[in-house]
């Protein structure tokens, strides 16, 4: 279910620093030279310094400032495009529409409905488009190596400069560590938990860099950044399901927390540079810094073949501590989520799809048997509360859909299906549970 949120970050690495936007388009061709175009017809002027010249000079200054703060130098000239509100929203919507498979949206939505995370009939594509149009205040396109950021006119505001620093950091670190290519590879291999973990490095780094930049601004400009942030419209975000809110902010907040512990006045960004080379491989490592320090690996889990007539295996990956946490938090509360998800050792899930219904199969392994007991208890409550099912015999839950929960030692099996017979067929593939 994280696929659509991850997609946007694979396509565009975004800044969520609130900014008000309005007018010009600028493309930089070198750290000191900017080629300018505009979103409105250009007019002849006899002024010695044009608005485009002013933007060009500010972009050059911010490139140099980003290199200084981040302690890296651009290997090739960065490209920056500055757009107005409408242009930014259009670019975001176009990128999402271009890279989203309608069939994938349908099955992801069906899974989220099945799990009780969104109401039936929810238009997830429109929700994500509206959410990113509201929340994304600039982005770095890893495919084109282009930064797209907003501006109000000839003079960049303090908050607009912060957004540009954030995106310049992405462009700068991508040149050195090629995180866009690695993200694409993880996405192609359906390694979604590892992809979420990598994104905390890229977003945490850009957020930390912008905070260092802001801390050096004059007090008046710092206050201007805060004022713009407080004035940002968050209506779509506020109305979104809690799990979406948490997934959206996770790479920024968790990444800043993790990398903030790696930065020091003595070493600067050195250990953060090392994190690009050896990033966390699970969201568990991100959420527990000691497990990243120890490079604690996930316990490998293999699923047996689960053929179901009429169904196709469309996705197989790691659910991860993050997804357990956000789904439990929305339905059962954050305290229960932290306990149940916190003992994660490893898992494997499979999603099957017949064009209308999904079957979700998940084999979880806890660090200890107690961890597995806590996971089993949470899943039992989840099936009843989140999915609206009633307990049947032998670990089954029935009603408008189907669920199955059982435990063997430190292993837990969870199956959810829109069709009971399909769920029973999946369950039969696990005779040892």
DSSP track, 110-129 = HHHHHTTSS-TT--HHHHHH
Structure tokens at 223: 């206050």
CA distances from 134 to 99, 230, 232 (A): 19, 14, 9
What distance in Å separates the CA atoms of residue 72 and residue 22, rounded to the nearest whole number?
31
Cβ proximity of 200 and 192 under 8 Å: no
d(Cα 337, Cα 285) in Å, to the nearest integer? 17
Angle at 293 between CA 292 and CA 299, to 5 degrees: 45
Q: Are 357 and 363 in contact (CB under 8 A)?
A: no
> What is the three-class DSSP state of 396?
strand
Residues 6+ apart with CB under 8 A from 122: 109, 112, 113
Residue 416 and residue 377: Cα distance in Å, rounded?
16
Asked whether 190 and 316 are in contact (CB, 8 A), the reply is: yes
Other beta carbons within 10 Å of 226: 14
Name the β-bridge partners of 347: 364
Report how far residue 11's alpha carbon sits from residue 141's, in angstroms, rounded to the nearest whole number.
Answer: 6
DSSP three-state, residue 261: coil
d(CA 363, CA 377): 15
Q: Cα separation of 175 and 276, whole Å?
A: 12
Quote the pTM value: 0.89
| 3-class secondary-structure state, position 313 | strand
Contact 92, 61 (CB under 8 A): no
Q: 79-83 and 146-150 as β-strands: parallel, antiparallel, unpaired?
A: parallel
Task: Supply the pLDDT for residue 23.
Answer: 28
- Element housing 207 (H / E): helix 192-215
pLDDT at 239: 93
Q: Which of 193, 210, 211 is nearest to 251 (CA)?
A: 193
DSSP 24: -
Low-confidence ranges of the chain (pLDDT < 70): 1-51
The separation between the first and the last C-alpha atoms of the chain, rounded to the nearest angstrom, is: 26
Q: Would you say 370 and 412 are in contact if contact means Cβ atoms under 8 Å apart? A: no
Burial of 370 (0-12, 13-18, 19+ CB in 10 A): exposed
The pLDDT assigned to 121 comes to: 93
Contact by Cβ (8 Å): 199, 253: no
Q: Where are the domains of the chain?
A: 3-293, 312-427
Q: Which CATH architecture has domain 312-427?
A: 2-Layer Sandwich (3.30)
């Amino acid at each position: 279910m994280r696929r659509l949120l991850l997609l946007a970050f694979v396509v565009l690495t975004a800044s969520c620093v609130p900014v008000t936007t309005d007018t010009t388009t600028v493309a930089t061709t070198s750290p000191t030279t900017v080629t300018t175009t505009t979103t409105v017809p250009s007019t002849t002027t006899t002024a010695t310094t044009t608005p485009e010249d002013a933007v060009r000079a500010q972009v050059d200054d911010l490139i140099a400032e980003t290199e200084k703060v981040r302690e890296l130098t651009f290997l090739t000239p960065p490209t920056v495009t500055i757009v107005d509100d409408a242009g930014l929203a259009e670019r975001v919507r176009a990128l999402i529409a271009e890279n989203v498979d309608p069939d994938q949206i349908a099955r992801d939505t069906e899974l989220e409905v099945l799990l009780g995370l969104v109401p039936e009939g929810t238009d997830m594509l429109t929700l994500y488009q509206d959410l990113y149009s509201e929340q994304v205040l600039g982005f770095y396109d890893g495919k084109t190596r282009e930064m797209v950021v907003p501006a109000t006119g000839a003079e960049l505001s303090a908050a607009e400069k912060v957004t540009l620093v954030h995106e310049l950091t992405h462009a700068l670190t991508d040149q050195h560590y090629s995180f866009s290519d690695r993200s694409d590879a993880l996405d192609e291999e359906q390694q979604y938990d590892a992809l979420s973990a990598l994104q905390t490095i890229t977003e945490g780094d850009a957020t930390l860099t912008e905070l260092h930049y802001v801390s050096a601004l004059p007090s008046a400009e710092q206050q201007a950044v805060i004022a713009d942030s407080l004035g940002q419209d968050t209506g779509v975000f506020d109305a979104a399901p809690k799990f979406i809110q948490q997934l959206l902010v996770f790479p920024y907040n968790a990444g800043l927390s993790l990398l903030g512990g790696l930065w020091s006045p003595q070493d600067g960004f050195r250990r953060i540079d090392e994190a690009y080379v050896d990033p966390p491989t699970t969201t568990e490592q991100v959420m527990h810094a000691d497990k990243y320090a120890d490079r604690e690996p996930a316990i490998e889990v293999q699923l047996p073949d689960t053929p179901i007539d009429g169904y196709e295996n469309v996705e197989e990956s790691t659910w991860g501590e993050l997804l357990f946490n956000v789904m439990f938090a929305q339905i059962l509360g954050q305290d229960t989520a932290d306990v149940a998800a916190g003992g994660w050792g490893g898992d494997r899930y499979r999603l099957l799809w017949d064009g209308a219904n999904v079957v979700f199969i998940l084999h979880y392994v806890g660090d200890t048997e107690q961890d597995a007991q806590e996971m089993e208890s949470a899943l039992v409550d989840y099936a009843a509360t989140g999915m609206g099912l009633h307990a049947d015999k032998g670990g089954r839950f029935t009603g408008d859909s189907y669920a199955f929960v059982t435990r063997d030692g430190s292993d837990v099996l969870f199956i959810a299906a829109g069709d009971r017979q399909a769920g029973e067929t999946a369950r039969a593939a696990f005779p040892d549970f």
